[in-house]
Structures are given as C-alpha cells and as structure tokens.
C-alpha cells in the first residue's frame, strides 16, 4: 500500500505538475470526456460499448496511429493497473509505451494496489478510461478549477472535483480510489460504496447520530448515549479539514469510526492504520451481496426470517452462518460488550458463541412435523405394557433452550438485587427454570404453581419487569446526585438491555427445498406472524412461542425446487435473497484457498481476471440456453476448486482443464438430460469455448483427487 501511494505521488509530480505535456489542459488542446481534441480525430469511435473497447485495444497495441491518444490511454491504463490488486493488464498489453510509463514512475512488482481491479473497471473498461482522464483534466485546471502548480494543489483540485456535483457521472469506485490516494489520512482504501455503507452500518454504535429535537424520547436517548458514542465528539473538529470539504457523509462517518477504534482509551487493542479488512473487523460488516438499497443483515434484522436461494455452490450455507455471526458480533458492539473478542476473535471463542446461539438443522426428504415441532414416542406404562407420549421436536427444544438462557440471564442479575417487590418476579423465574430442567431430565419433580400469582406467562414477566425498571429509573434520577453508580455495574441498565436488546439466536434450516416445508412448519407459520404469543401445537398441546430474538435463515437450491412452487404462506413470512454466481466472492475464496502458497498464488494472480471473465462467460452461455436459464448457473465455489488442483498440477492451464473434466463438464452433462445427443454436444462445445479450454491438450498424470 505504501508503495502504491508513493508511485501515485511521483506520477502527480511527473505528469500533472510542471511543464505542459499531453496531459496538460490548454485552450488550444482541451481534453473532453469524448477525447475530442482539436488534433485528434476520434470520430471512428462508435457508440457501441464493445466496439469502443476493441478500438481502444487496437490503439494501445498500435505503434504509429493516433500517437497522442495512445499515450493518453496508456497513462489511464497505468493508473487503473496501479490501483488494482489483480494486475493482468500488464500481461495483456506488453507494448513499449506502457513499459516506458513503468520506467518513468519506477513501477515495480513490489506493490499491493488498493482493492479488486474488478470493482473499478471490469465490464466497463471504456467508461473507466474516460473517468480517469476527466479527473486529470480537472486536476490540470480545466472546467473552472484553479491552476495547479504543485502536487498538493493538484490533489486538492482532484478532491474538489470528485466531491462535487461536477463528477456525478463518474463511477463511485474511481472517485473512491482518487479520494484515498489524494488524502490517505482521511479516506479509506476502499473502492466499493456498498462496502463503505456496510462498515457504517456494522459499527453504527460508534457513530450514533441522535438528532437534537424537542422530542423527549430523543433527548433522553441522547442523554443516555454510551461512552463509545461520546468518544467520536473529540474527532469532530477534524472532519471540517479541507480534505473533507464537501466529502460524502459516509466517508466522514468511517473516519470517526476509525479514530474511535484506534483510540487507546477505547480499549479495543487495534493498531494504528489497521485495515477494515483485518480478520475480526471484516467479519462484522463484509457480505457478498448484490443488494443495493439494503444489506442482507439489515433485511434479516427487519424481517427476522430470510431464505437464501440460488444455484448450487453459491455459498448459501456459508452465507447463512456468516449472517448468524454478524448478528452476534453486532449485538456485542451495540452493547459495548466483548469488543476485544469481537475485534480479535480466536477460534475457540467464536466456535463457542456459534454453538451456543446458532442451531443448524439439515432438512431432508424424510424430515417431518414430528421431527420439527412435536411427535409421539412409546415408553413403558409401568404395567408391563407401552404407552404413547408426546415428545417435543427440534424447534421446541431450541425454543426451550433460548427461554432457559434468557431466564438464567435475568436470574443472575436479579440475584444481586435485594428488593421485596421483586419476590413474585423471582419466584416465576425460578419455577420456570426448574420446570425446564425437569422436562430436559424427564423428571417428575413437582414445581410451584405460578397461576397463584399475577405473573402467569413470560409476557406478564416482561410487563412487570418493565414497570419495576421504570420505577427504579425514576427513583435513580431523583437520587442521582447522592448515589451515583457506574453504568457498567448498574443492574437496572442490564435488565433494561436484556428486555430491549436480548442476545440474538439463529435457527438455520439448510436446504429447505428437500422437504415439504408447509407440512413441517405447521403452527410455526402462525407463531412467526404473532411473536411472543403462545400457539398450541396439534400434538402434545405444547405452547409454541417464537421470541423476538429468534432469527430464522433458510437455504434453498432453486435448481431442485422452483420459487414458483413455494406457497404464499411461506413466501410472505420470509424475505427472499437471490444468491447467484459472484465474481468478487470467487476471487475472495481463491485467495483464502491459496493462503501462503506463493507459487500457486503467482500462477493464479497472473490469470485471475481472464479466469473470472471466462467463468462469467460460461454462466452467461448457460443462462442463454432456453432449456436451462439462470437457475442452472455454476456457483463460484465450484470454480474456486481450481486452487487446490493448481497446487498439484503446478500449471494454471492444466488445472483449468482438470477442473473442467472432473467437475464442470459432469455438471453440464447432468443439466442436459432433456436434450438430444446433437443438442447436448453443440451446447457443451459452446460452453467449452466460453470457458477457454477448447482443443487444449493436457496431461492429468500430475493430478490426484485427495
């Protein structure tokens, strides 16, 4: 990263400051967004995006034609290559002009880029060139900008431009790259706007905006702000500095979040200049989703029930577990608890949290209502015979576990408080815990009858506790000056937190398409509709109560069961999120898989953009096939298997051929079951061409399937 910043700074001094060059703006040589120079004729560039790309490639490869334009495009290419982490353009375009730029700016191989190249220019390379050149045009003093005679002035011009309405046509990733390179102490090295949005959302507790109004609730909330939310005020003065002039609010918020996390007084133990992509931190906010208006975690928090659906191999199960952990991590951030563990998670702690708060059920064709809700079992009747008795299913057992843990948490706090008015509350909690214990051990131990008190249900318990907390809060307000108490040791605040923000629990139902969901769910449909209200089960007459802190995530392979066949009752109780092939997720998984294997990494990095483009082309071909469609696309986890294969074959092309033979082609063969042999052969041939392996001769002797 430091090398990348250094190279950009040198580029600014060499190419954008000082004596005029073809990058300089003059009245006689105005650079327009269409490259419409007086001395350069680009009339041959058509409106068609593909033709533009082809012509730009031809100009870059030519030695004689359009020399000035070629030089200009070479510099734009150099910049796009500089900021990206996967730099395959240098391999694609090996011409003298680009080599000269590398020498002039001393570009070597020991730099890391900023982010994924694909976030900046994949799929829209032509517009990326134009965007970069328009920024440079303004930097040199065009379009009303002040004349720039120093590197700092150039950078200020760039920041003024990308943070103004004049740049609204420029891609946000390009603007984010320039923001960081021009003011790295203020902006993050992050291209994606959705990533920035997710960071602000994930660490919202560190930037809690409470509007100043006459509304009493708002004033009360502002008064009760956590210490964490107060810390950011010490950094507010910095966001008025010139690099932040007219900057997007999201960048100002991230700056404050960074400063809070870096604050030694915060006790979070983060190094200065940490990355939001560091392990632990990234788990709080990053998600692989194409949603633009709301993130997956926002949708889950809103609806509390979600189904991730799509083709096989699109990380649906992994995504469900990832969402579950995000709920846990964000709960601790909101409560200002366990932050050292959340930001520096070690495997044992994370595994323990997932085991306690997340329950996964694998659906299958024989899974029934009896397994999920309640059924019957035979047991001795004491007279030498057998009798049928009701038994709770997996869901009711998990709900009992949630209720038990919630009650235990309340008990632990209430046991520290001596107050006679809490007697009925404590009795109800103790009796309820004993009853659950007895059921779990199949004990016949008698428990006290709660019906003799005014508390006969968990709802009554919550209502009575809320009343008690309100009374205590009023008394505390009156006596605050004489008996101050730290929030960290305040049982009233702890009880209030448990009532208003209980720990989330997650039920993951994997591959719900493999069972008859409508039959299996039974009364759960009603219980999801009316949370916290007891619904009697058909077997056992049990109370089925879905609490507010239970989140349900299902996964579904749409290739096995079309969304069109889902009944309306199931549809409207879940939010449905399409999980298709994801190029960025593929790149991330490949990086994880090659880990510290530098040899494999080198082979794949050199070919990564080409490989991902071919994976996308293959899926496009599948989607265009009338008898298949998008539901039959091949998931990114299938394509990521090229990494372990490449580790064995030591050759990228051979690894791709092996992957085709052992995984991709057999999958396509299965898809083509309804085609004739001729149609199948033609379709497979088209897919081979799209995947870029046609007519390759490969020796598979070096590969063994472990």
CA 414 – CA 429 distance, rounded (Å): 10
Mean pLDDT on 145-162: 81
Backbone angles phi, psi at 506, to 5 degrees: -130, 130
Q: What's residue 114's pLDDT?
A: 66
**Pair of tokens at residue 483:** 């008996």
Q: What's residue 493's pLDDT?
A: 87
Left, alpha or beta for 540 (phi > 0: left; psi -120 to 50: alpha)?
A: left
Highest-scoring range by mean pLDDT, 142-156, 216-230, 335-349, 397-411 = 397-411
pLDDT surpasses 80 at 155: yes
Q: Work out the pLDDT band at 112, boundaries 50, 70, 90.
A: low
Q: What's residue 95's pLDDT?
A: 37
CA 525 – CA 529 distance, rounded (Å): 6
Q: Which of 53-67, 125-139, 363-377, 399-413 has the lowest mean pLDDT?
A: 53-67
CA atoms 470, 474, 475, 480: torsion sign: positive
Spell out the residues 6+ positions from residue 253 whose beta carbon is closer than 8 angstroms to its own: 200, 207
pLDDT surpasses 80 at 449: no
Counting residues of the chain whose pLDDT is more than 90, the rounded percentage is 36
Only one residue has tokens 């930001």, namely 343
Q: What's residue 87's pLDDT?
A: 45
Q: Work out the pLDDT band at 550, boundaries 50, 70, 90.
A: very high
Closest CA to 554 of 376, 372, 331: 372
DSSP 8-state secondary structure symbol assigned to residue 609: H
pLDDT surpasses 70 at 560: no
Q: What's residue 147's pLDDT?
A: 60
CA 490 – CA 156 distance, rounded (Å): 50
Q: What's residue 110's pLDDT?
A: 45
Q: Confirm if 274 and 261 have CB atoms less than 8 A apart.
A: yes
Number of neighbours of residue 22 by Cβ within 10 angstroms = 16
Q: Confirm if 135 and 25 have CB atoms less than 8 A apart.
A: no
Q: Confirm if 332 and 610 have CB atoms less than 8 A apart.
A: no
CA 319 – CA 206 distance, rounded (Å): 25
Q: Confirm if 326 and 281 have CB atoms less than 8 A apart.
A: no
Q: Which of 224-238, 349-363, 412-426 has the lowest mean pLDDT?
A: 224-238
For 296-312, the pLDDT digits (tens) are 998 999 999 999 999 99
Half-sphere exposure of 53 (CA within 13 A, CB side): 11
Q: Work out the pLDDT band at 239, boundaries 50, 70, 90.
A: low
Q: What's residue 146's pLDDT?
A: 59
Q: Alpha helices of 62-150 — where are they, by DSSP H?
A: 67-83, 89-92, 96-104, 117-121, 125-139
Mean pLDDT on 504-529: 93
Mean pLDDT on 28-35: 36
3-state SS track over 502-539: CCCEEEEEECHHHCCHHHHHCCHHHHHHCCCCCEECCC
* Burial (0-12, 13-18, 19+ Cβ within 10 Å), 568: exposed
Average pLDDT, the chain: 78
Backbone angles phi, psi at 554, to 5 degrees: -110, 155
Go through 392-425 and write b for each residue having 16 or more CB atoms within 10 A of its CB, e for each that does not: bbebbebbbbbbbebbebbeebbeeeeeeeeebb
CA 322 – CA 358 distance, rounded (Å): 11
CA 579 – CA 581 distance, rounded (Å): 7
pLDDT surpasses 50 at 121: no
CA 44 – CA 51 distance, rounded (Å): 10
Number of neighbours of residue 328 by Cβ within 10 angstroms = 23
Q: Confirm if 364 and 515 have CB atoms less than 8 A apart.
A: yes
Q: What's residue 300's pLDDT?
A: 94
CA 464 – CA 87 distance, rounded (Å): 63
For 53-78, the pLDDT digits (tens) are 565 666 655 555 455 566 666 777 77
CA 342 – CA 205 distance, rounded (Å): 14
Mean pLDDT on 618-633: 91
pLDDT surpasses 80 at 700: no
Q: Which of 485-499, 525-539, 595-609 has the lowest mean pLDDT?
A: 485-499
DSSP-assigned beta bridge partners for residue 58 = none
Go through 207-228 and write b for each residue having 16 or more CB atoms within 10 A of its CB, e for each that does not: beeeeeeeeeeeeeeeeeeeeb
Q: What is the pTM of this model?
A: 0.81
Highest-scoring range by mean pLDDT, 13-22, 201-210, 502-511 = 502-511
Spell out the residues 6+ positions from residue 434 whose beta carbon is closer than 8 angstroms to its own: 445, 447
DSSP-assigned beta bridge partners for residue 387 = 379
Q: What's residue 210's pLDDT?
A: 30
Q: What's residue 280's pLDDT?
A: 86
User: For the CA atoms of 39, 42, 43, 46, what is the dihedral angle to 10 degrees?
Assistant: -170
Highest-scoring range by mean pLDDT, 28-42, 563-577, 601-615 = 601-615
Q: What's residue 398's pLDDT?
A: 97
CA 177 – CA 251 distance, rounded (Å): 13
Q: How far apart are the first and last CA of the chain?
A: 37
pLDDT surpasses 70 at 250: yes
Q: Which of 323-337, 656-670, 689-703 has the lowest mean pLDDT?
A: 689-703
pLDDT surpasses 60 at 557: yes
Number of neighbours of residue 244 by Cβ within 10 angstroms = 19
Q: Work out the pLDDT band at 476, boundaries 50, 70, 90.
A: low
**Pair of tokens at residue 550:** 């239970």
Q: What's residue 254's pLDDT?
A: 92
Q: What's residue 229's pLDDT?
A: 47
Q: Work out the pLDDT band at 659, boundaries 50, 70, 90.
A: very high
Q: Work out the pLDDT band at 140, boundaries 50, 70, 90.
A: low
- Considering only residues 387 and 50, tell me which one the structure prediction assigns the higher pLDDT: 387
pLDDT surpasses 50 at 30: no
Q: Work out the pLDDT band at 151, boundaries 50, 70, 90.
A: confident
Angle ∠(223,478,424) on CA atoms, nearest 5: 100
Q: Confirm if 664 and 638 have CB atoms less than 8 A apart.
A: yes
pLDDT surpasses 60 at 39: no
Q: Confirm if 468 and 492 have CB atoms less than 8 A apart.
A: no
- Considering only residues 385 and 74, tell me which one the structure prediction assigns the higher pLDDT: 385
pLDDT surpasses 80 at 120: no
Q: What's residue 270's pLDDT?
A: 73
Helix (H, G, I), strand (E, B) or coil at 575: strand
Mean pLDDT on 192-218: 66
Highest-scoring range by mean pLDDT, 125-139, 175-189, 256-270, 560-574 = 175-189
Q: What's residue 178's pLDDT?
A: 93
Task: Name the residue ranges covered by the structural domains of the chain.
Answer: 2-191, 199-286, 361-576, 583-691
Only one residue has tokens 């595994």, namely 351
Q: Work out the pLDDT band at 564, boundaries 50, 70, 90.
A: low
Helix (H, G, I), strand (E, B) or coil at 376: strand
DSSP 8-state secondary structure symbol assigned to residue 662: I
Q: What's residue 409's pLDDT?
A: 93
Helix (H, G, I), strand (E, B) or coil at 583: helix
Mean pLDDT on 172-183: 91
For 393-448, the pLDDT digits (tens) are 999 999 999 999 999 999 999 999 999 889 999 999 999 999 988 887 655 444 55
Counting residues of the chain whose pLDDT is more than 70, the rounded percentage is 71
Radius of gyration for the alpha carbons in the chain, expressed in angstroms and rounded: 31
- Considering only residues 507 and 561, tell me which one the structure prediction assigns the higher pLDDT: 507
Q: What's residue 157's pLDDT?
A: 87
Q: Confirm if 1 and 189 have CB atoms less than 8 A apart.
A: yes
**Pair of tokens at residue 610:** 């080409």
- C-alpha distances (whole Å) from 121 to each of 143, 191, 288 are 25, 11, 19
Q: What's residue 259's pLDDT?
A: 85
Q: What's residue 216's pLDDT?
A: 37
CA atoms 60, 63, 64, 68: torsion sign: positive
Only one residue has tokens 């064995």, namely 648
DSSP 8-state secondary structure symbol assigned to residue 488: G
């Amino acid at each position: 990263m430091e090398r990348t910043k250094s190279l950009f700074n040198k580029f600014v001094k060499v190419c954008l400051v000082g004596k005029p060059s073809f990058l300089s703006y003059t009245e006689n040589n105005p650079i327009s967004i269409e490259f419409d120079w007086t001395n350069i004729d680009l009339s041959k560039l058509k409106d068609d995006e593909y033709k533009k790309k082809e012509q730009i490639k031809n100009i870059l490869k030519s030695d004689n034609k359009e020399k000035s334009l070629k030089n200009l495009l070479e510099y734009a290419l150099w910049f796009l290559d500089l900021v990206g982490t996967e730099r395959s353009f240098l391999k694609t375009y090996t011409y003298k002009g680009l080599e000269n730029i590398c020498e002039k700016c001393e570009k070597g191989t020991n730099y890391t880029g900023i982010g994924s190249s694909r976030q900046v220019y994949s799929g829209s390379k032509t517009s990326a060139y134009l965007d970069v050149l328009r920024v440079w045009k303004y930097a040199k003093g065009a379009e009303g900008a002040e004349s720039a005679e120093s590197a700092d002035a150039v950078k200020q011009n760039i920041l003024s431009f990308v943070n103004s309405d004049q740049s609204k046509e420029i891609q946000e990733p390009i603007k984010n790259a320039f923001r960081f390179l021009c003011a790295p102490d203020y902006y993050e090295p992050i291209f994606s706007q959705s990533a920035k949005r997710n960071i602000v959302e994930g660490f919202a507790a560190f930037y809690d905006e409470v509007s100043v109004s006459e509304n009493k609730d708002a004033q009360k909330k502002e008064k009760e702000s956590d210490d964490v939310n107060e810390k950011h005020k010490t950094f507010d003065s910095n966001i008025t500095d010139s690099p932040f002039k007219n900057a997007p609010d999201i960048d100002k918020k991230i700056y404050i979040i960074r400063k809070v996390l870096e604050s030694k007084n915060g006790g979070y133990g983060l190094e200065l200049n940490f990355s939001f992509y560091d392990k632990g931190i990234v788990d709080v906010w990053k998600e692989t989703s194409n949603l633009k208006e709301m993130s997956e975690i926002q949708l889950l928090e809103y609806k509390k029930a979600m189904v991730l659906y799509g083709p096989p191999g699109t990380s649906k199960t992994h995504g469900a577990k990832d969402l579950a952990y995000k709920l846990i991590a964000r709960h601790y951030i909101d409560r200002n608890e366990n932050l050292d563990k959340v930001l520096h998670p070690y495997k044992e702690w994370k595994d323990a949290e997932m085991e306690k708060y997340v329950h996964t059920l694998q659906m299958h064709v024989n899974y029934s209502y009896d397994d999920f809700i309640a059924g019957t079992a035979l047991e001795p009747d004491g007279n030498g015979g057998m009798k049928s008795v009701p038994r709770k299913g997996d869901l009711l057992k998990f709900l009992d576990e949630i209720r038990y843990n919630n009650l235990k948490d309340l008990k632990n706090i209430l046991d520290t408080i001596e107050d006679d008015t809490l007697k009925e509350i404590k009795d109800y909690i103790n009796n309820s815990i004993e009853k659950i214990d007895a059921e779990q051990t199949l004990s016949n131990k008698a428990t006290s009858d709660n019906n003799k008190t005014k508390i006969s249900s968990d709802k009554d318990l919550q209502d009575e506790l809320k009343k008690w907390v309100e009374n205590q809060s009023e008394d505390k307000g009156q006596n605050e000056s004489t008996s101050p108490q730290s929030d960290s040791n305040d049982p009233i605040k702890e009880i209030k937190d448990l009532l208003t923000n209980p720990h989330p629990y997650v039920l993951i139902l994997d591959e719900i398409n493999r069972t008859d969901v409508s039959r299996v769910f039974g009364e759960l449909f009603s219980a999801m509709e009316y949370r916290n209200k007891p619904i009697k089960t058909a077997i056992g007459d049990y109370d089925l109560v879905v609490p507010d802190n239970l989140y349900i995530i299902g996964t579904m392979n749409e290739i096995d069961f079309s969304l069109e066949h889902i009944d309306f009752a199931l549809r409207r109780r879940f939010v449905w999120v399409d999980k298709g092939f994801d190029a960025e997720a593929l790149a991330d998984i490949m990086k994880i898989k090659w880990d510290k294997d530098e040899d494999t990494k080198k082979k794949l990095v050199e070919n990564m953009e080409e490989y991902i483009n071919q994976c996308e082309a293959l899926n496009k071909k599948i989607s265009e096939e009338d008898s298949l469609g998008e539901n039959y696309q091949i998931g990114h986890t299938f394509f990521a298997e090229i990494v372990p294969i490449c580790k064995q074959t030591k050759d990228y092309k051979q690894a791709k051929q092996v992957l085709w033979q052992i995984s991709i082609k057999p999958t396509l063969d299965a898809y083509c079951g309804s085609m004739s042999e001729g149609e199948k052969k033609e379709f497979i041939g088209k897919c081979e061409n799209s995947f870029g392996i046609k007519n390759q001769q490969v020796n598979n002797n070096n590969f063994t399937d472990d």
